Chains A and B, each alone.
Chain A
Amino acid sequence: AQSVTQLDSQVPVFEEAPVELRCNYSSSVSVYLFWYVQYPNQGLQLLLKYLSGSTLVKGINGFEAEFNKSQTSFHLRKPSVHISDTAEYFCAVSDGVNTGGFKTIFGAGTRLFVKA
């Protein structure tokens, strides 16, 4: 069975500092990996995704993530955050093989709080 662990429930950081949000997953098969962002009172919006190929994935708003198969991790990074990046971030894994990709499992979320 698949699972996703987001290691930090909250990450406070000062504006213009770098940030890393950690995500580990477990799966017995090949997976697709995603990071979503949720602003207050909104649905989830895709930041980036890894399907195959290059392990470094670039997304919107200056975010990037690196897929590490040996460590089963997909950490999200941004070199310099803005106040507007304050939001909840969700890591997700989808099994594109056995369940047709329909069973996307989400982590519990990491609250990023950017301080001035």
Chain B
Amino acid sequence: ETGVTQTPRHLVMGMTNKKSLKCEQHLGHNAMYWYKQSAKKPLELMFVYSLEERVENNSVPSRFSPECPNSSHLFLHLHTLQPEDSALYLCASSQNPRQGFEAFFGQGTRLTVV
């Protein structure tokens, strides 16, 4: 149990579908992150929220839409995805990163776009 829970663990969706990934952290952290992990590529930081405010958006296509309603929950809304969006999507949270606090990761959602 890492304290960061992601649902669902696996998701298969068509290119015209709309779905959402959910992340919940029970660690009292104030920053949450979405990463994309594709085969043979480094982890890509997609979005960062600090105290529920988005502080980083790394040129992610608009078909990915994050939402952070409170410091414990983070969503990634998906619509009209492409097959190349198939990947493992990892959520993470951390305490104050300025002090070097490390990120705690969830187990990920394995997304397959067909």
**A residues touching B (Cβ–Cβ < 8 Å)?**
4, 32, 34, 36, 41-46, 49, 51, 90, 94, 96-97, 99-109
Q: Does B80 contact A (CB under 8 A)?
A: no
Q: Are A107 and B42 in contact (CB under 8 A)?
A: yes
Chain A contacts for B108, CB-based, 8 A = 41-43
Q: Which of B42, B102, B110 gathers most chain A CB within 10 Å?
A: B102
Q: Are A49 and B100 in contact (CB under 8 A)?
A: yes
Our pick among B31, B55, B90 for the contact of A43 (Cβ within 8 Å) is B90
Nearest CB in chain A: distance from B40 CB, A: 7
Chain A contacts for B2, CB-based, 8 A = 43, 45
Nearest CB in chain A: distance from B65 CB, A: 19
**B residues touching A (Cβ–Cβ < 8 Å)?**
2, 4, 6, 31, 33, 40-43, 45, 48, 50, 55-56, 90, 92, 96-108, 110
Our pick among A4, A42, A97, A100 for the contact of B55 (Cβ within 8 Å) is A100
How far is it, in angstroms, between the C-alpha of A49 and the C-alpha of B102 when the chains are bound? 8
Chain A contacts for B110, CB-based, 8 A = 41
Q: A43-B107, A43-B108, A102-B50 are in contact. Are A109 and B42 (CB under 8 A)?
A: yes
Q: Are B42 and A96 in contact (CB under 8 A)?
A: no
Chain B contacts for A102, CB-based, 8 A = 31, 33, 48, 50, 55-56, 97
How far is it, in angstroms, between the C-alpha of A34 and the C-alpha of B104 when the chains are bound? 12
Q: A43-B107, A49-B102, A102-B97 are in contact. Are A108 and B45 (CB under 8 A)?
A: no
How far is it, in angstroms, between the C-alpha of A106 and the C-alpha of B41 when the chains are bound? 10
How far is it, in angstroms, between the C-alpha of A101 and the C-alpha of B6 when the chains are bound? 23
Chain B contacts for A45, CB-based, 8 A = 2, 105
How far is it, in angstroms, between the C-alpha of A87 and the C-alpha of B29 when the chains are bound? 27
Our pick among B31, B41, B43, B100 for the contact of A51 (Cβ within 8 Å) is B100
* 9 nearest CB pairs, A to B: A101-B97, A43-B105, A106-B43, A51-B100, A32-B100, A44-B105, A108-B42, A46-B102, A102-B48
Nearest CB in chain A: distance from B46 CB, A: 12
Q: Which of B41, B56, B103 gathers most chain A CB within 10 Å?
A: B103
How far is it, in angstroms, between the C-alpha of A7 and the C-alpha of B103 when the chains are bound? 23
Chain B contacts for A41, CB-based, 8 A = 107-108, 110
